[in-house]
Structure 1
Amino acid sequence: MGRLIYGTQAQEYEFDDRTLAHVKIALVTKLRRHESFLLNWQIAAELGGGRMSLWISREIPLAFVFTETHPPKLNERWMEALLHTSQRTGGMELISEREAEGLAGRD
């Protein structure tokens, strides 16, 4: 499991490496554009359930730690879907690769 480390107190959030690699590209794309936004995801039931939202901003420290030594092949549709969700008022929704593939045909 990879980790997204965020904030001055270095709060850590775990994601599988493949998901984290796609989230990383989407976040960096937004931050390079000087865009702040919410990042939202659902917490697995086995971890207590619920939802998490983080305010993502260039002013807040951010790091990505991967367990795999080589990055995965990236799915452009998934990254585009993540970026597309970020345009909503509610912020970027961390959707699964399968959900992103399902959205691709709806444009």
Structure 2
Amino acid sequence: MESEILHKLVKRWVFAADKNIPDSEEMTFRSSEAEIPITRGKRIMEFKKNGHVIIQEVGPDDRPVYSEGNFTLENPDIIKVMLENSKSPKLMIIKIISLTEDMLTVKVQR
């Protein structure tokens, strides 16, 4: 089961603004291979096979801001991310709501 989840998870995910519900804590991402409507700035999460993660968020001036670190799959629906390039390491817990080959819906706790 865990290897099946990792197989689906390991890729570049782009925030799908058109799939999100306003005022919801859940965020939906599409595989970077999917056609995604053009938006200002993009949130991106890229999970790699070696456990490395790159997160791109939108900065205050709309330029991308990058964070990098490592991730572990704690159980089938929890991803633990330790971001290491900030002034102090930052823990982020990502709860997987749904995961398919081309869509990822999560709830992020910082």
TM range (shorter): under 0.3
Task: Choose between structure 1 and 2: higher strand proportion.
Answer: 2
TM-score (norm 2): 0.26
Which structure has more helix as a fraction of its residues?
A: 1
Higher relative contact order (CA 8 A, sep 6+): 1
